[in-house]
């Protein structure tokens, strides 16, 4: 990749990740232009950016997902590069291609990487080529093929959208008689979310842990920043993340880290990415799930234990610079935990609760980081993800981090709408969480 200085950066996102990118870009001396919907025109990120361009009205299809509008805004404002954040267009190969055609660098992987990793079956094939273990299962293009795969895999199993992510288009099926109904729901959800109804079948691991590895690459070399555990989930969406993954044998942890680096090197991966694995909680065998070709919501816990700014690394690689880090330089210290505070009502099946924040008092102090775009009087529009902010704590060990998280959650006060904060207060006092190493079934066993 030819070196290219980034003087002016277009940010094609909103909320806390937009503010996060603005902060690092500013520290690097890069001017920022933020593309916003009309609903976000008065948001905190809009106030912090050097320039703001309104992309369109509130719905994301007319603003954050409108490739032509985003690229035209970036080009019209004289930007050298575009940072997509996460979600929206972050892993969209057509967007990266359109940016390149306009002479704008895409802060992310190469287009062929985005295409390969955006198709879960292609990603699975590439992982096998790289020598990684994958779960039994595979493609199923028709109803009969789904039933045939299910007979091979056995129950319980998962139906997963080929173009999926974020738990959309995914259904667990415990019995053969439930397969057709689950298939219809998975295909309909996948079509609505991704414009692609294709699904595949995968074995379901009864006691599984979701463990991932943070990667950095420059297209030639690649390294890892350690593991993260994201096993506490609801409907396959993460609630709590921590680094490193707790209660894992060193051999299993090192095996997962090396597998992730093998994949990144095989793909000549460029930028920040995350290899996700399912770990059997009984014997610590692990299986590749997917590679997220972008910055992750949970990236701050990896930053906390390594001291490395991942957005800065993204921007350096996007400007054509080789990694200045080596694996030997990565020396994780302590333990970090992140909780997502969403405008949702856990008592009403996590129903989104948009509205105006009347008061927002976020915790502060040693070892506490808050990534948020919300303050008193701020609006939570109904069009987007309900994330209000993230609380990240860092301690000298896991027990210290858990205690610090409890204190931070006690200090948190948000009024004007229900949030997930009460749920996190219950999680942090649960003996299973305190012990560490919970599986993905944790939430179902959480006392009310």
Tell me which residues are annotated as active site: 294
3-state secondary structure of 297: coil
3-state secondary structure of 399: helix
Structural contact between residues 302 and 135, judged by C-beta atoms closer than 8 angstroms: no
Q: Judging by beta carbons within 10 Å of its beta carbon (0-12, 13-18, 19+), is residue 312 exposed, middle or buried?
A: middle
For the chain, how many residues are written? 448
- For residues 387 and 377, give the distance between their C-alpha atoms in angstroms, rounded to a whole number: 16
- Token pair 């994958």 is found at 134
- For residues 413 and 411, give the distance between their C-alpha atoms in angstroms, rounded to a whole number: 6
Residues 6 or more apart in contact with residue 315 via CB below 8 angstroms:
6, 9, 24, 25, 28, 30, 81, 83, 107
Residue 435 structure tokens: 């012990």
Q: How many CA atoms lie within 13 A of 305 on its CB side?
A: 29
Q: Report the DSSP pairing between strands 286-292 and 270-280.
A: antiparallel
Residue 230 structure tokens: 């994201």
Residues 6 or more apart in contact with residue 125 via CB below 8 angstroms:
none
- For residues 337 and 196, give the distance between their C-alpha atoms in angstroms, rounded to a whole number: 35
Distance of CA 238 to the CA centre of its chain: 9
Handedness of CA 70, 341, 418, 232 (dihedral sign): positive
What residues form DSSP beta bridges with 32? 9
Helix (H) or strand (E) holding 56: strand 51-56
What residues form DSSP beta bridges with 214? 274
Residue 379, phi then psi, degrees to nearest 5: -95, 145
Structural contact between residues 168 and 193, judged by C-beta atoms closer than 8 angstroms: yes
């Amino acid at each position: 990749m030819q070196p290219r200085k980034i003087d002016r950066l277009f940010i094609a996102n909103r909320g806390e990740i937009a503010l996060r990118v603005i902060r690092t870009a500013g520290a690097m001396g890069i001017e920022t232009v933020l593309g916003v919907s009309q609903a976000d025109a008065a948001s905190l990120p809009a106030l912090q950016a050097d320039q703001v361009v309104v992309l369109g009205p509130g719905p994301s299809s007319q603003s954050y997902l409108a490739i032509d509008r985003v690229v035209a805004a970036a080009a019209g404002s004289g930007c050298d590069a575009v940072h997509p954040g996460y979600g929206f267009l972050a892993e969209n190969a057509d967007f990266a291609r359109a940016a390149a055609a306009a002479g704008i660098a895409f802060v992310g992987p190469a287009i062929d990487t985005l295409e390969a990793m955006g198709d879960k079956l292609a990603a699975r094939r590439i992982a096998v080529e790289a020598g990684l273990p994958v779960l039994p299962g595979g493609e199923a293009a028709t109803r009969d093929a789904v039933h045939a795969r299910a007979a091979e895999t056995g129950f319980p199993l998962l139906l997963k959208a080929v173009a999926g992510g974020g738990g959309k288009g995914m259904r667990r099926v415990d019995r053969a008689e439930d397969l057709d109904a689950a298939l219809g729901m998975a295909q309909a959800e996948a079509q609505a979310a991704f414009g692609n109804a294709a699904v595949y079948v995968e074995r379901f691991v009864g006691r599984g842990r979701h463990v991932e590895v943070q990667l950095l690459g420059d297209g030639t070399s690649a390294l890892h920043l350690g593991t993260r555990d994201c096993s506490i989930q609801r409907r396959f969406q993460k609630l709590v993340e921590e680094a490193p993954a707790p209660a894992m044998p060193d051999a299993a942890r090192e095996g997962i880290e090396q597998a992730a680096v093998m994949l990144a090197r095989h793909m000549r991966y460029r930028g920040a990415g995350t290899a996700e694995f399912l770990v059997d909680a009984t014997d610590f065998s692990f299986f590749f799930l997917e590679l997220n070709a972008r910055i992750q919501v949970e990236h701050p816990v990896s930053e906390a234990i390594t001291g490395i700014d991942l957005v800065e690394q993204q921007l350096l690689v996007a400007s054509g610079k080789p990694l200045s880090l080596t694996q030997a330089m990565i020396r994780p210290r302590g333990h970090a935990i992140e909780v997502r505070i969403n405008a949702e009502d856990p008592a009403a099946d996590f129903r989104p609760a948009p509205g105006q924040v009347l008061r927002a008092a976020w915790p502060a102090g040693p070892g506490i980081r808050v990534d948020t775009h919300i303050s008193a009087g701020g609006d939570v529009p109904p069009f987007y993800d309900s994330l209000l902010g993230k609380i990240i704590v860092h301690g000298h060990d896991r027990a210290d981090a858990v205690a610090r998280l409890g204190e931070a959650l006690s200090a948190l006060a948000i009024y004007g709408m229900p949030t997930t904060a009460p749920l996190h207060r219950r999680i942090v006092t649960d003996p299973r969480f305190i012990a560490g190493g919970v599986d993905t079934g944790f939430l179902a066993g959480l006392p009310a």
